[in-house]
Amino acid sequence: MQMFTAGSQCTANFVYYDGTNVYVGQAAHCSGTGGNTETNGCTSGTLPVGTQVDVDGASKPGVMVYNSWITMQRLGEKDANTCQYNDLALVKLDPSDVASVNPSVPHWGGPVGLDTTGTTPGEKVYSYGNSELRGGVSQTSPKEGTSQGDTGAGWSHTVMTYNPGIPGDSGSGFLDATGNALGVLSTIDVGFPTGVTNGVGDLAKELSYLHAHESSFASVQLVDGTDPFQAGTLPGLGGLLGGLGLA
């Protein structure tokens, strides 16, 4: 689903629950107040906790109740990898909207659990982005690709997909080869000869940081999808051309 924070559009990743409240995840940088190159969470500006977030399909705005950048800055975090890659925010949904939430990843289904071991080069990954820049062509939203390996002491995973993440896809969730929640789309990188790759923050580490440093969210857990995980079923060319009005 699309999420709008002070006019900035991102894509939700997964659903979380603490026994009382339901949260939708987005990237912490989605509430950043600096430029696109300001990605260090320990030094970059951000909107405060309590900021309202418009959630696509919800009857009322959600509220950003946790932002890893804010927590790291309050704590004076010094670890370079944590500062660079810890990129998770939680938006609490209004109780009136909870019943309409489906925790399943669109198109792929899942997650079936939380990936705690990272990825290996060549391992399959799956995602679903919902950027406004796609012009409503849903056939371009599902992504399938491979991991290029882990970086930042396991805090980030470099991925290459046939349909790379673009601005507005930020915050979307990535699944590993078996449907476990791997991480959160954080960066877009262009290089030679690798082409366009995306950096995906490690969700297990991001949740561990949340639990360790925010006692009021110590019981927040990932919610598994209700739809089964189905790998390897990207939309066909005919569906894509139809969505673009070319067929």
pLDDT at 47: 98
Asked if residue 159 belongs to a domain, the reply is no
What range defines the domain where residue 21 resides?
Answer: 2-101+204-222
- Where does the pLDDT of residue 50 fall: very low under 50, low under 70, confident under 90, or very high at 90 and above? very high
Asked if residue 156 belongs to a domain, the reply is no
| CATH code, 43 | 2.40.10.10
Asked if residue 128 belongs to a domain, the reply is no
Asked if residue 31 belongs to a domain, the reply is yes
Asked if residue 188 belongs to a domain, the reply is no
pLDDT at 35: 80
pLDDT of 240 higher than 50: no
Asked if residue 151 belongs to a domain, the reply is no
pLDDT at 246: 33
Asked if residue 45 belongs to a domain, the reply is yes
pLDDT at 245: 41
Among residues of the chain, what percentage have pLDDT more than 90?
Answer: 79
Please give the tally of structural domains in the chain. 1
Asked if residue 22 belongs to a domain, the reply is yes
pLDDT, one tens digit per residue, over 174-232 is: 999 999 999 999 998 876 566 789 999 999 999 999 999 999 999 999 999 999 999 97
Q: Which residue has the tokens 């559009």?
A: 9
pLDDT at 138: 75
